[in-house]
Structure 1
Amino acid sequence: MTTALQRLSPKADAPEDRFDRRLITPMVLGAILNPINSTMIAVALVPIGVALGAPPSQTAWLVSGLYLATAIGQPVVGRLVDLFGARRLFLAGAVLIGIGGVLGALAPTIGVLVIARVLLGLGTCAGYPAAMTLIRGEADRTGRDSPAGVLTVLAVATQTVAVIGPTLGGFLIGVGGWRVTFTVNIPLALACLVLGALYLPRSHASRQGLRAVARAVDPLGIALFVATLVSLLLFLTHLHADLWWLLVLSVAAGAALAWWELRAPLPFLDLRLLGGNLPLLATYARSLLAAISSYAFLYGYTQWLEEGRGLSPQVTGLVLLPVFGAAILVSTVTGRRREIRGKLVAGAVGQVVTAGLLLALGAGTALWLILAVSLVAGLPQGLNNLANQNAVYYQADPERMGSSAGLMRTFFYLGAIIASATNGIVFRDGATTPGMHELAWVMLAASVVFLVLTLADRSLARVVQRVDTPEPT
């Protein structure tokens, strides 16, 4: 069956032997909306709770709702990108983002606001798989590997830029209140629609071809995948003993998913392919561990700064700005270096140091030291995200690039949900300094496992050897 990558038709005036740089703007814009929305809400939870009379147990669903939608939607939408092409899914996602922005701006209750966040999560699912598919498609079209700078820009856009979310959220709340954190998605969605329609290549599949592709969607596999993840993520989000049945349901659905996917003629998750690609599975594991550490810091440190240190949302956002600056700087400086393993080792060490610094903080810690912690925390944010993304790009099957990239994001958000659940446990009595120290120990454990897994993964050296081979002229 012809893949979506083979059906993509570049613009007539696109350079034949070079990456079409007109794709970069819509790719980056579509990709930033998910991480920005996932972290911007961090400084808005308290104002939203006050405005709508919602306790923390309800406002927490504003975080969990987007995480659930994203973790489930990324590989599903990624598979649809593989089958139907990036353009269709990119534009459909932009429409959902616009609807979510309008609904959030007008939401009268916390329940409606949660629905808006779910729509934003689903709508932003298309950006990253579509971008990775387009980069792979350009490599196939030109016969040359895509420039390392393009992958660097994408890494910054999809993951590193997430750390500016609290800063942006604090600014928007100061300008127009918490509803502006939803309203801002409306013009961004319109921009995605315009740029996507102008520059993303069309798929030339006929109606008959689309029917054939639709038969490859594997709806049962997708349904079982959704059931497995929903039950697992709901259990992890709440971690109550009386919700044990969710874990049982997840295991049962996962077993049924494995049984079906091993027999389906065109599986949603090709388990045989995944099982034979241990380097890719190791990258997924590293993404999960990196997310536990980075999101525990991003949410836990943010809450502690507001409650434990007594800073305002606006000042907290500014204090976190060095995280963004350091991550951008290290991604830019190291982005063109093909080597992956060294970046991951340095990133793991940076996470260990960050956790150690958090153990030294207290309610009376000087502001300069708090800023220094933010600066150090940005270094692994930039290194790990870039290296893991590049590893997936070279390790994944090109015909399943969208779903493989989406699955990496699922593992990443699974780690984020674990971090969120951990925050709820250690901050059970509020975002106190002892609670933050408990969180630091969890981050330290995840960072050490990340480091050990990276040092033990010999396949990373082979990835470098393969990408360092001369490109065709």
Structure 2
Amino acid sequence: MRQTVTVSNEPRTGLAVAGLSLGTALNPLNSSMIAVALVVLRADFGLDVATVTWVITSFYLSSAAGQPLMGRLADRFGPRRMFMLGMGLVAVTCALAPFSPNFSLLCVARAVMALGTAAAYPSAVVMIGAIAQRAKLESSRPLGRIQMANTSAAAVGPVVGGLLVGLVGWEALFLVNVPLALAALLIVRQVAPADEARERGSLGELVRDSDIPGILGFVGSLLLVMMALLNVAPGYRWWMLGAGTLIAALFVWRELRFSPPFLDLRLLGRNRPLMLVYLGFAVFSSVYYFVFFGLPQLLQEAAGYDPGLVGLLMLPLATMSVLATPWAVRAMYRFGVRRVLIAGVVLLTAVAGLMWLLTGSLSIPLVLALTALMGIPYGVVSIASNQGMFVSTRAQERGVAAGIFQTCRYVGAITATVMIGVFAGGGVDQGNWGLMVVAMLVLSMVAFLVTLLWRERTD
């Protein structure tokens, strides 16, 4: 007999949203905590900048591939079931990861952990629809709470990571996930709405419908292009770039013909507003992660600050992101999603330009001011883009749409980490930071132009 969960009761509704928020926050938390551990990992494993970025890239590649797939599985087999499965995978992986004997296995552990966290967000978006409907709430309210949790987790990640690395070591970055994942699993199991009747099928049908060739093509093309840009194998750089481009073309050709596709390109083709939300969010994310991953390395290598202090210097970003998110939710009610989104991107461009000041000084007051300013557009653009994605899709497509939305975040982050490796292969200093600022300004202008083109769906 199926369990029935009543969510109209406000405490249970709030607890369900809290459990979903905790689970979805693990992905941004783990993507950001690692930022202050890169220098330590380089020293422990004897790596250069380009190589150590694979601990970030492996996480984002797995997340980018996992989010659309997990979104489709949540739509098909039930979001509550997929959420709990993901949290269980995170707990087991993070309990074993600290015992990795080499850097390669550490990257594998990060990839598996990312796959588990990838199940959380698309599953939560689907469950939020049911929670909001039964509790008679506007969907933007619980979505806003989840976004606040995600924004806060991503922003406080360097602070938490700096403290954990400074007091315990990089191993603590994995272990801290075990109790958090188990808590999210238990809360959602107890109070989240039970899954409605969904498809059931054999393992063979699941594998066949999962579009494994599509997933491999997506990951393979990204991997080859990144390896070419980072010049991992100098003698084969152009061969890898050509192969990556060819595989990407074959991937697009297949996805337009396969049903159901891993990455629903047809959904984008028939939904221009959604496509623009994705494109704008990917470009925005590349600017943000330039700062998020580049600045901690600049502060540690050029200024000589220790990881704990660097984490604290990133704290204003967390604070302002948290404060900006509820303001943005209220502003969207009053002015609409598009105006709030445009305002956030304009502010992003201004802050990116101010980052040039760090080429002349790395003083603590200046760093604190700039990280605080960066927190505002991060909170505003993230929640506005999230709401733009939500209103641009039909209810039955939101699991897949949410997965692709998160993939856009990871594509932006991967772009930033690759470009950091290109600009600063031997280490981040004030000279190559100036080149990164120029790249951020160009990307900010692209995000602004895309945002101007976006309109809410009227059908």
**Partners of 1:200 and 1:226 in 2: CA distance:** 33
Structure 1 residues 194 and 442 mapped into 2: Cα distance closer, same or farther (>3 Å)?
same
Q: Secondary structure at the match of 1:13?
A: coil
Once the 2 structures are TM-superposed, how far is the Cα of residue 424 of structure 1 from its aligned partner?
0.9
Structure 1 residues 40 and 16 mapped into 2: Cα distance closer, same or farther (>3 Å)?
closer
Is 2:285 the counterpart of 1:295? no
Indicate the percent of aligned positions where both proteins have the same amino acid: 32
AA in 1 matched with 2:129 = R
- Check the 8 A contact 1:216/1:266 in 2, yes or no: no
Once the 2 structures are TM-superposed, how far is the Cα of residue 59 of structure 1 from its aligned partner?
2.4
Is 2:31 the counterpart of 1:34? no
Paired position in structure 2 for 1:165: 157
Is 2:200 the counterpart of 1:203? no
- Check the 8 A contact 2:36/2:162 in 1, yes or no: yes
**Partners of 1:103 and 1:216 in 2: CA distance:** 28
Paired position in structure 1 for 2:309: 315
- Check the 8 A contact 1:41/1:181 in 2, yes or no: yes
Structure 1 residues 409 and 247 mapped into 2: Cα distance closer, same or farther (>3 Å)?
farther
- Check the 8 A contact 2:78/2:196 in 1, yes or no: no
**Partners of 1:386 and 1:103 in 2: CA distance:** 34
Paired position in structure 1 for 2:37: 44
Paired position in structure 1 for 2:138: 146
AA in 1 matched with 2:410 = Y
The number of residues matched between the two structures is: 451
**Partners of 1:155 and 1:103 in 2: CA distance:** 29
Q: Per-residue displacement from partner, 1:360-391 (whole Å, max 9, x unpaired)?
A: 22354432122111111111101110100001
Once the 2 structures are TM-superposed, how far is the Cα of residue 103 of structure 1 from its aligned partner?
2.2
**Partners of 1:452 and 1:393 in 2: CA distance:** 21
- Check the 8 A contact 2:53/2:417 in 1, yes or no: no
Q: Secondary structure at the match of 1:146?
A: coil
- Check the 8 A contact 2:166/2:308 in 1, yes or no: yes
**Greater Cα shift, 402-411 or 151-160:** 151-160
**Partners of 1:237 and 1:140 in 2: CA distance:** 46
| Equivalent residue in structure 2 for 1:343, among 337, 340, 345 | 340
- Check the 8 A contact 2:317/2:374 in 1, yes or no: yes
**Greater Cα shift, 30-39 or 12-21:** 12-21
**Greater Cα shift, 365-374 or 254-263:** 254-263
Paired position in structure 2 for 1:286: 280
Once the 2 structures are TM-superposed, how far is the Cα of residue 60 of structure 1 from its aligned partner?
2.1
- Check the 8 A contact 1:392/1:404 in 2, yes or no: yes
**Partners of 1:399 and 1:213 in 2: CA distance:** 23
- Check the 8 A contact 2:161/2:173 in 1, yes or no: yes
Q: Per-residue displacement from partner, 1:320-363 (whole Å, max 9, x unpaired)?
A: 11111111101122223332112222211222121221112235
Matches within 5 A, 1:229-308: 229-236=219-226, 238-239=228-229, 240=231, 242-308=236-302
**Partners of 2:37 and 2:267 in 1: CA distance:** 42
Paired position in structure 1 for 2:326: 332
| Equivalent residue in structure 2 for 1:366, among 363, 366, 372 | 363
Once the 2 structures are TM-superposed, how far is the Cα of residue 154 of structure 1 from its aligned partner?
1.4
Once the 2 structures are TM-superposed, how far is the Cα of residue 19 of structure 1 from its aligned partner?
9.2
Q: Secondary structure at the match of 2:28?
A: helix
Is 2:87 the counterpart of 1:90? no
- Check the 8 A contact 2:128/2:139 in 1, yes or no: no
| Equivalent residue in structure 1 for 2:354, among 352, 357, 362 | 357
| Equivalent residue in structure 1 for 2:403, among 390, 403, 406 | 406
AA in 1 matched with 2:118 = C
Q: Secondary structure at the match of 2:358?
A: coil
Structure 1 residues 80 and 250 mapped into 2: Cα distance closer, same or farther (>3 Å)?
farther
Once the 2 structures are TM-superposed, how far is the Cα of residue 416 of structure 1 from its aligned partner?
0.6
Paired position in structure 2 for 1:23: 16
**Partners of 1:148 and 1:200 in 2: CA distance:** 18
Give the CA RMSD over aligned residues. Answer: 2.6
Once the 2 structures are TM-superposed, how far is the Cα of residue 104 of structure 1 from its aligned partner?
2.0
AA in 1 matched with 2:292 = L
Once the 2 structures are TM-superposed, how far is the Cα of residue 447 of structure 1 from its aligned partner?
0.7
- Check the 8 A contact 2:64/2:411 in 1, yes or no: yes
Structure 1 residues 419 and 262 mapped into 2: Cα distance closer, same or farther (>3 Å)?
closer
Paired position in structure 2 for 1:448: 445
Paired position in structure 1 for 2:424: 427
**Greater Cα shift, 234-243 or 297-306:** 234-243
Once the 2 structures are TM-superposed, how far is the Cα of residue 49 of structure 1 from its aligned partner?
2.8
Is 2:391 the counterpart of 1:394? yes
Structure 1 residues 184 and 140 mapped into 2: Cα distance closer, same or farther (>3 Å)?
same
**Partners of 1:95 and 1:61 in 2: CA distance:** 24
**Partners of 1:51 and 1:17 in 2: CA distance:** 49
**Partners of 2:354 and 2:296 in 1: CA distance:** 15
- Check the 8 A contact 2:5/2:191 in 1, yes or no: no
Structure 1 residues 245 and 135 mapped into 2: Cα distance closer, same or farther (>3 Å)?
farther
**Partners of 1:140 and 1:114 in 2: CA distance:** 40
Paired position in structure 2 for 1:105: 98
- Check the 8 A contact 2:38/2:297 in 1, yes or no: no
**Partners of 1:380 and 1:228 in 2: CA distance:** 30
Paired position in structure 2 for 1:116: 109
Point out 4+ residue stretches in structure 1 off by more than 6 angstroms.
Answer: 16-19
**Greater Cα shift, 258-267 or 19-28:** 258-267
Once the 2 structures are TM-superposed, how far is the Cα of residue 192 of structure 1 from its aligned partner?
2.2
Q: Per-residue displacement from partner, 1:66-118 (whole Å, max 9, x unpaired)?
A: 01111111111111111111122111111221122122222222122112111
Is 2:63 the counterpart of 1:66? no
Per the normalisation by structure 1, the TM-score is 0.88
Paired position in structure 2 for 1:187: 179
Gaps in structure 2 of 5+ consecutive residues: none
Q: Secondary structure at the match of 2:8?
A: coil
Structure 1 residues 335 and 132 mapped into 2: Cα distance closer, same or farther (>3 Å)?
same
AA in 1 matched with 2:156 = I
**Partners of 1:218 and 1:425 in 2: CA distance:** 38
Q: Secondary structure at the match of 1:14?
A: coil
**Partners of 1:97 and 1:451 in 2: CA distance:** 36
Per the normalisation by structure 2, the TM-score is 0.90
**Partners of 2:88 and 2:11 in 1: CA distance:** 31
- Check the 8 A contact 1:30/1:124 in 2, yes or no: yes
**Partners of 1:182 and 1:29 in 2: CA distance:** 16
Once the 2 structures are TM-superposed, how far is the Cα of residue 181 of structure 1 from its aligned partner?
1.0
**Partners of 2:218 and 2:109 in 1: CA distance:** 23
